[in-house]
A = this chain, B = another copy of it.
Amino acid sequence: MSYRDIFEQVKAGTLTVDEALEQIRKFDAEDLGFARIDHHRTLRKGFPEVVYCEGKTPQQAAEILIRLAETTDASVMGTRSGVEVYHLVAQMRPEFQYDEQARMVYLKRQASPPVGHVVVLAAGTSDLPVAREAVLTLELMGACTTLIVDVGVAGLHRLLEHLDTIYAARVLVVVAGMEGALASVVGGLVDRPVVAVPTSVGYGSHFGGLAPLLSMLNACASGIGTVNIDNGFGAGYLAALINQLGEST
């Protein structure tokens, strides 16, 4: 029952003012939630519902994923998920899929073709799991996506080979561990928004991703927004929102 329903019923006399007030009281918060959803439904078409699986028991994660699959008609995705969550989910809902590299369990429900163009660059092969998480998120959110791998700055020519693709992007995602310099170099080449994802690929004074994180936050190139270490999902999500802006809104 929406706000409009309530008002119509009050006007029609099928709901007293007191009943309406009672309804509103409970409804308020949910309503704020649902109102937000309603309001944005058209914009958000194709936006998946997301579950962060780490720290939840496989049972908890699976239950939430299945409930979401039942109550929405959007895609559904569970990030940082072990394969055992997928096994539990797939027993009930075999249409779910699992991507081992991205550690993501998901249900793809997408009618309209992908739009725009997002380029995801992964500095090295070891950064692939995080990059793949970004790519999969972008695809579930309806973005046309290209993945370019192994273009670290230690061999600039490998990056420069892809200049055409890079210049054609509406927004770019740069995934890099080690010192994360790729974000600066790419940011210096393009005049499009760059989403930078530091990864935990490295050792010693890398401190689990601190080195590329600081590197990206301090990049001398402008136009770079950084997300958390290894947060391929977050980067994909942000890039998808930006990519969407290029559509006639």
Tell whether, in the assembled complex, residue A215 and residue B219 are in contact, meaning their CB atoms are under 8 Å apart.
Answer: no
- A167, chain B: closest CB distance, angstroms: 7
Specify which of B56, B154, B163 is in contact with A125 (CB 8 Å cutoff): B56
Tell whether, in the assembled complex, residue B29 and residue A215 are in contact, meaning their CB atoms are under 8 Å apart.
Answer: no
The range of chain A's interface size is 35 or more
* CB contact list, A10-52 vs B, under 8 A: 10-11, 13, 17, 20-21, 24-26, 28-37, 39-40, 43-44, 47, 50, 52
A73 touches B (CB below 8 Å): no
A160 touches B (CB below 8 Å): yes
Q: State the oligomeric state as a number of copies.
A: 8
- Give the docked Cα–Cα distance between A162 and B124 (Å): 27
- Give the docked Cα–Cα distance between A243 and B24 (Å): 29
Tell whether, in the assembled complex, residue B181 and residue A185 are in contact, meaning their CB atoms are under 8 Å apart.
Answer: yes
- Give the docked Cα–Cα distance between A201 and B195 (Å): 24
List B contacts of A147 (CB < 8 A). none
- A126, chain B: closest CB distance, angstroms: 3
A97 touches B (CB below 8 Å): no
- A181, chain B: closest CB distance, angstroms: 3
List B contacts of A237 (CB < 8 A). 222-223
Tell whether, in the assembled complex, residue B204 and residue A200 are in contact, meaning their CB atoms are under 8 Å apart.
Answer: yes
Provide the main secondary structure of the chain A interface. Answer: helix
List B contacts of A241 (CB < 8 A). 191-193, 223
Tell whether, in the assembled complex, residue A191 and residue B43 are in contact, meaning their CB atoms are under 8 Å apart.
Answer: yes
Tell whether, in the assembled complex, residue A189 and residue B36 are in contact, meaning their CB atoms are under 8 Å apart.
Answer: yes
Interface core residue of A187, A210, A248 (most chain B CB under 10 Å): A210
- Give the docked Cα–Cα distance between A229 and B207 (Å): 10
List B contacts of A142 (CB < 8 A). none
Tell whether, in the assembled complex, residue A209 and residue B204 are in contact, meaning their CB atoms are under 8 Å apart.
Answer: yes
Tell whether, in the assembled complex, residue B238 and residue A222 are in contact, meaning their CB atoms are under 8 Å apart.
Answer: yes
- With contacts A191-B241, A201-B55, A214-B215 taken as known, whether A29 is within 8 angstroms of B157 at the C-beta atoms is yes
16 other A-B residue contacts (CB within 8 Å) besides A30-B160, A54-B203, A204-B218: A4-B21, A7-B10, A10-B10, A29-B161, A30-B157, A32-B157, A40-B191, A52-B126, A54-B126, A55-B177, A154-B221, A200-B204, A204-B209, A204-B217, A204-B229, A246-B246
7 CB-based A-B contacts, threshold 8 Å: A28-B163, A33-B160, A47-B191, A52-B124, A179-B215, A205-B210, A212-B215
